[in-house]
Structure 1
Amino acid sequence: MQDALQVGPFLLKTQWLVITLSALVGYFGMRYRLKAAGYPDKRIIETIENSLIIALMVWKFSLILFDPVSVVTNPLALLYFSGGERGVWLAAVVVLFYFYHRAQKDQVSVWVYGDLLAAGFLAAIAAYHLIDLFGDKQALWADLSEILIALLIFRVMLSRSQGIAKPNNLNQILLWFSLGQVGIAFLNPLKQNYWWGFSQEQILYLILATLCLAIDLFAEKKRLNKAKHY
């Protein structure tokens, strides 16, 4: 896949287009999840639409924060560059705070937005790796596995339409996604071993999966203890 595309006088980085398209798919994934769960609240839909715009703007213009010298010396850099991976993480943090603020303002459970974010993320991941199939033949099996896991977990979310605001369901989704990422990494030919054949990313996902499992076991133990008192 080409690194950039010429559109008239502008040179667009392919990465921008891929991320933008993936974000749009994620948006429709959130809307579909919302519809499947029977939440017709227009305020939630409005929040989703605003969050997509905010995320794209923060990602694009975060270059001002991460590389202000380049922007000052060459303002046109904003047309051709973005905040990159750091900009993506910053956009994610900003959107999280935005969702929390709107949840408090609209008196909606924050877990509803957490569920929608998870659904949008899974849809975006599937779209991103589907596009990547056409450009990175080395990671073919890794991309296919990413798509399969994302779609399977998304399907499970849709089957639990009444659990949109249940943190336990989100915890299990995160658990299985983390374990899936650990396994998929072994299919990546560019994986760099860090400890006992695991990459740093795999170790982080293993830690996250362990934390999710501990939370799940604690919640189950608490539920059983509560049941004994009745």
Structure 2
Amino acid sequence: MPAQLSWGPFTIQTGLLAVIAAAVAAIFAVRLLSRLYGAAAKEAADYWQNAAFIVMLVWKFGHVLFAPAVVWQRPLALIVMNGGTRELLLAVAAAAVYVLAKIRRGRLPLPLFLDLSAFGAVAAVFVYACIDRETGAATSLPWGLTVSDPEYRYHPVSAYSMIVAAVVAALLWMRRGAAGSGELARIASLYMGAGMLLVSFWDVPAPTYWLLSAFQWRALALAAVGIIFSARVHNKGERS
């Protein structure tokens, strides 16, 4: 995928377009699901929409916090530069603080918010992978993608991510009646974590820390959250 996309005189970075489209898709998905569950769900959707905007803004301009001199030395860089993993983590933390404060003040059920968030996050992953398409490690499989030399093919890891997200989204939609119990968040964290961990083994090799890359550790942690939730649900079922 080219680093930039152009329409006549207009040019936008592919990564930025993917983030914006993913945020819009997440907001739309949360709004869609919230229509099934009354006023509390609509309030949660409002919080989620604001949180999505916070993530976008902090991710885009968060690098100013670490290098404030760029404001007066290279002001145009504020438009051109995007954030990295550091800014993304900061953005998620800022959005989490906002959401927790709102939930605590408005007494919104946390499981309901997590279920709506799970549906929106899966939609965001699907749209992001659809736009910012990437190739992974070399392969001889017939569905491998060629980049410049037709003799070499590479795993379409973005397509794999889209498949994982689509399957999980279907599972969530089939279980949409359980929204508000934390069930959708459990399903999304377990299967998205496991699925993305599987996809990562076909990606371009990255530096490892204790046998796994940073992305693999994050995917494993997400799957572990789902496993913990599943164990709690199982234990409650046995006690009842």
* Structure 2 alignment gaps of length 5 or more: 136-144, 147-153
How far apart, in 2, do the equivalents of 1:83 and 1:208 lie?
A: 22
* Structure 1 alignment gaps of length 5 or more: none
Which deviations, in whole Å up to 9, do the C-alpha atoms of 1:126-177 show, x marking residues without a partner?
A: 01111234x6446653222211111111122122223222234422321111
Give secondary structure in 2 for the equivalent of 1:68. Answer: coil
Give secondary structure in 2 for the equivalent of 1:12. Answer: strand
118-127 or 97-106, larger mean C-alpha shift: 97-106
Give secondary structure in 1 for the equivalent of 2:202. Answer: coil
How far apart, in 1, do the equivalents of 2:85 and 2:75 lie?
A: 21
| TM-score under structure 2 length normalisation | 0.78
Structure 1 residues 26 and 140, CA gap change in structure 2 (3 angstroms): farther
How far apart, in 1, do the equivalents of 2:129 and 2:188 lie?
A: 19
Corresponding residue of 1:39 = 38
Conserved? CA contact 2:14–2:131, under 8 Å? no
Query: What is the number of residues matched between the two proteins?
Result: 223
How far apart, in 1, do the equivalents of 2:160 and 2:10 lie?
A: 35
Tell me which of 220, 226, 229 is aligned to 1:212: 226
How far apart, in 2, do the equivalents of 1:205 and 1:71 lie?
A: 35
How far apart, in 2, do the equivalents of 1:157 and 1:25 lie?
A: 16
How far apart, in 1, do the equivalents of 2:131 and 2:170 lie?
A: 20
Structure 1 residues 12 and 107, CA gap change in structure 2 (3 angstroms): same
Q: Quick check: 1:61 aligned with 2:76?
A: no
> 1:202 deviation in Å?
2.6
How far apart, in 1, do the equivalents of 2:25 and 2:156 lie?
A: 22
Q: Quick check: 1:29 aligned with 2:29?
A: yes
Corresponding residue of 1:177 = 192
Corresponding residue of 2:179 = 164
Which deviations, in whole Å up to 9, do the C-alpha atoms of 1:187-227 show, x marking residues without a partner?
A: 22x12474897544334433543453244224422431x32
Structure 1 residues 52 and 79, CA gap change in structure 2 (3 angstroms): same
More helix by share: 1
State how 1:186-205 maps to structure 2 within 5 Å: 186-188=201-203, 190-192=204-206, 194=208, 198-205=212-219
Q: Quick check: 1:223 aligned with 2:237?
A: yes
Conserved? CA contact 2:186–2:226, under 8 Å? yes
Structure 1 residues 204 and 20, CA gap change in structure 2 (3 angstroms): closer
How far apart, in 2, do the equivalents of 1:62 and 1:91 lie?
A: 8
Q: Quick check: 1:86 aligned with 2:101?
A: no
Structure 1 residues 162 and 88, CA gap change in structure 2 (3 angstroms): same
Q: Please report the RMSD computed on the Cα atoms of aligned residues, expressed in angstroms.
A: 2.9
How far apart, in 1, do the equivalents of 2:222 and 2:46 lie?
A: 31
How far apart, in 2, do the equivalents of 1:193 and 1:67 lie?
A: 26
Structure 1 residues 58 and 195, CA gap change in structure 2 (3 angstroms): closer
Structure 1 residues 121 and 215, CA gap change in structure 2 (3 angstroms): closer
199-208 or 57-66, larger mean C-alpha shift: 199-208
> 1:13 deviation in Å?
2.4
| TM-score under structure 1 length normalisation | 0.81
How far apart, in 2, do the equivalents of 1:187 and 1:65 lie?
A: 35
Corresponding residue of 2:72 = 72
Give secondary structure in 2 for the equivalent of 1:102. Answer: helix
Structure 1 residues 87 and 192, CA gap change in structure 2 (3 angstroms): closer
How far apart, in 1, do the equivalents of 2:210 and 2:77 lie?
A: 42
